[in-house]
Amino acid sequence: MKEFDYQQDFKTIDFRKHPERYQVGRGEQGVLMVEPYKSEILPHWRFKTAEIAKVSSRAIMTLFEEYRAKDDFVGMDMARKFIQMGYTRARRYANHKGGRKYDADRNELPRELNDEKAAAAAIFKAEWDKLRADADYLARKKKHQAAFG
């Protein structure tokens, strides 16, 4: 078997078939690259309004529970990443119209609070807090990291 070339092979891996190749990483790292999970979760990921964020976060949390029931830690972690990204992206849009935080010179643009996006962020944050406190998820994460990194 040839050695795994992370840069070249990453986009072609089916992580459901090869969970041993999945590394948890930090934060939202890899969220838009890990298949088939990206394709399963991304269509549900929305945060334009608080109502849309509620529907989105519920759908993603349902997927999280389905992955749990199938003993699919990679799916659980990817759902967690999308929930976390829902919070961080909604917060960015809440603070910066258009979602751009920095100008071309890397200076932070002025903040403008968007209450609708802040409410959407709060919905995702509540779900993210639940996942970060989920003892079963945390145990599975620790087990996966010990086995595969």
Which tens digits make up the pLDDT trace of 31-58?
A: 888 999 999 999 999 999 999 999 999 9
- Give the list of residues 6+ apart from residue 15 with CB closer than 8 angstroms, or none: 21, 22, 34, 35, 36, 37, 74
Output the average pLDDT for the chain: 91
- Across 38-42, 103-107, 124-128, least confident range: 103-107
Using DSSP's 3-state secondary structure scheme, residue 14 falls into strand
Specify which of 20-29, 45-54, 90-99, 105-114 reaches the highest per-range mean pLDDT.
Answer: 45-54
Show the tokens assigned to 100.
């751009």
Confidence band of 28 (pLDDT split at 50, 70, 90)? confident
Domain count, the chain: 1
Q: What is the pTM of this model?
A: 0.89
Residue 52 lies in a domain: yes
Residue 129 lies in a domain: yes
Residue 3 lies in a domain: no
Residue 79 lies in a domain: yes
d(CA 97, CA 106) in angstroms, rounded, equals: 16
Residue 18 lies in a domain: no
Q: Which of 31, 81, 35 is nearest to 60 (CA)?
A: 81
Residue 97 lies in a domain: yes
- Across 2-11, 44-53, 91-100, 112-121, least confident range: 2-11
Q: Which of 13, 74, 98, 82 is nearest to 46 (CA)?
A: 82
Confidence band of 109 (pLDDT split at 50, 70, 90)? confident
Q: What is the DSSP string of 83-135?
A: HHHHHHHHHHHHHSGGG--B-TTSPBPPP---HHHHHHHHHHHHHHHHHHT-H
Q: pLDDT value at position 52?
A: 98
Residue 86 lies in a domain: yes
Phi and psi for 110 in degrees, rounded to 5? -60, 145
Residue 139 lies in a domain: yes
Q: pLDDT value at position 73?
A: 98
- State the residue range of the domain holding 130: 30-101+110-148
